[in-house]
Structure 1
């Protein structure tokens, strides 16, 4: 039996997945949480084989948290189950050590298959993710500047694209406001633009956000 912790903000997702796997002889939804702190507590109190994780889970303000979690619990399998932009989040998520990255638009039997395959040691990524990565690899060198962005820079860019100010981003990520200003300057330099509006437009043009 594969034990799973479902970490998602939506009660509808909780109900749907729990109902689907209720009578499964292969997969058991052991825990259900709606924020990152609860996820950590549940994993520590009752280890599971796999976590189905929404990238926008409350309290998960940085992909670096997932990297740290997987370093501390190397036997844990994490599957991103999300609608967050494949191009923006899939590469750093994969780099952090997640074993699967699938869209919430898939059928539940496909999610079931993903859990089983990941538990068997496979890496499973949706066709959308594979397509996004292929596009990145085929992009002209002159348009690949964004591939030099660090995971943290991508996160800061994501919050800027949502219209958040330096102070807000600093609070979300638990960083000093001056540090965010430094990241902003680096982003401007790496994407060869001079202001925030052009930065966001360039990021959209390159399908980073």
Structure 2
């Protein structure tokens, strides 16, 4: 509703499940896709990479409630144009849509610093530099209570491997301890 009378933003469609997006992108010209990482059916960062590869003219803005500190640099590195937290005012989202449509990449100062540190290969305790993209995804799924069978597109063996790696990397003694540490780090 906020963008109904916006002079530069025209909402083409609204979907409730990620599975609708590939079809929508093949049937409709979409310049900027606003995507929530918690959208039902979105199970992997690799699905976003696929969209960017198959629809190179479509720009993606991640608009989510998940921690920018943990997730933003992961998604910017795969090619999304902006990462906006839902706590921001919708006017900022509108400005970002207009800027991205004109070819500008949107990064705040904190995100730029995180990317600079990652690029320079500095090692630190920062979760986004300590864990792989897939490890962060598995941690997020475990944090919302998904079982191995509910995490689609990742085999049970792979999930078990990533869970074991997470336990080691985060110095956790159990799944409960792992999830408590993830909450403290704002990964879930």
TM over 0.5: yes
TM-score, length-normalised on structure 1?
Answer: 0.76
Preserved contact between residue 43 and residue 153 of structure 2 (Cα < 8 Å): no
CA shift for structure 1 position 171: 2.8
Residue 67 of structure 1 aligns to a residue whose secondary structure is helix
Residue 193 of structure 1 aligns to a residue whose secondary structure is coil
In 2, Cα distance between equivalents of 1:198 and 1:141: 23
Larger relative contact order (C-alpha < 8 A, sep ≥ 6)?
2
Aligned to 2:5: 23
Aligned to 2:156: 177
Preserved contact between residue 188 and residue 196 of structure 1 (Cα < 8 Å): yes
Residue 52 of structure 1 aligns to a residue whose secondary structure is strand
Match for residue 84 of structure 1 among 43, 56, 66: 66
Residue 68 of structure 1 aligns to a residue whose secondary structure is helix
Preserved contact between residue 67 and residue 97 of structure 1 (Cα < 8 Å): yes
Preserved contact between residue 45 and residue 75 of structure 2 (Cα < 8 Å): yes
In 2, Cα distance between equivalents of 1:163 and 1:171: 9
Alignment RMSD (CA, Å) = 2.6
What does residue range 85-124 of structure 1 map to in structure 2 within 5 Å?
85-124=67-106
Single out whichever of 41-50 and 174-183 deviates more from structure 2: 174-183
Aligned to 1:160: 142
Residue 32 of structure 1 aligns to a residue whose secondary structure is coil
What does residue range 188-199 of structure 1 map to in structure 2 within 5 Å?
188-199=167-178
Single out whichever of 149-158 and 174-183 deviates more from structure 2: 174-183
In 2, Cα distance between equivalents of 1:145 and 1:22: 38
In 2, Cα distance between equivalents of 1:77 and 1:190: 33
Higher strand share: 1
In 1, Cα distance between equivalents of 2:128 and 2:76: 17
In 2, Cα distance between equivalents of 1:156 and 1:102: 22
TM-score, length-normalised on structure 2?
Answer: 0.83
1:3-29: per-residue Cα shift (whole Å, max 9, x none)? xxxxxxxxxxxxx2xxx3333442211
Preserved contact between residue 86 and residue 132 of structure 1 (Cα < 8 Å): no
